[in-house]
A and B are shown apart, each in its own frame.
Chain A
Amino acid sequence: EPEVTQTPSHQVTQMGQEVILRCVPISNHLYFYWYRQILGQKVEFLVSFYNNEISEKSEIFDDQFSVERPDGSNFTLKIRSTKLEDSAMYFCASRPNLRETQYFGPGTRLLVL
């Protein structure tokens, strides 16, 4: 059964550094999402992406964040200058169309020191 994959599974970085979180959505899926979960808190929506552009972003998704689908298979989330409060589990999700359920990856645990 096809799955959404994410790399790396864990990343530790220094405050102020740039990080890129990578996701490979299920092939033939057209809608892509990033969510995050700070330890002990809710899973929060960050951004949705369709047709090579952002469809919607939350208030969390400020100028430090960007997303890209560089090669038709990967979907990346970049944090330009990480802050301590960016430490969280980041989940990627995809779906083939808006009638279907979102399929989630295993997440990347980011720790900013």
Chain B
Amino acid sequence: AQSVAQPEDQVNVAEGNPLTVKCTYSVSGNPYLFWYVQYPNRGLQFLLKYITGDNLVKGSYGFEAEFNKSQTSFHLKKPSALVSDSALYFCAVRDIKRNRGSTLGRLYFGRGTQLTVWP
């Protein structure tokens, strides 16, 4: 079965410093990996995804993530954090199980990591 783990409930960084939010995954087959962000009173917003190709994926708001197959990780990174990056970040893996000839595409989420960037 597919699953993801986010080992840190909270990450705190100073503005201007690099940030990393960790995610490890367990899948059968090739992983389809995603990062979503949730700001207060807002829905889950898509940040970036890895399907295939380059291991370094660039996404919205200056975020990027590195796919590491040997370590089964997909850590989210940003070179210089902003206070406005403070939010809840979710890593997810997509189900690639086939049913009646179609992939179903359900997502398996981690528990989320609360990122706080202080001025």
A: which residues have CB within 8 A of B?
Answer: 3-4, 6, 9, 31, 33, 35, 40-45, 48, 55-56, 58, 91, 93, 95, 98, 101-107
Counted as pairs of residues, one from A and one from B, with CB atoms less than 8 Å apart, the total is 57
**Beta-carbon contact of B99 and A101 below 8 Å:** no
Contact status A106-B103, CB under 8 Å? no
Interface size on B, residues (CB 8 A): 23
Interface of B is mostly: strand
Give the distance to chain B from A67, nearest Cβ to Cβ, in Å.
14
Q: A56-B99, A104-B45, A106-B42 are contacts. A31–B109 as well, Cβ < 8 Å?
A: no
**Do the beta carbons of A105 and B105 come within 8 Å of each other?**
no
Distance, CA A71 to CA B10, complexed state (A): 42
Chain A residues with Cβ below 8 Å from B34 are 101
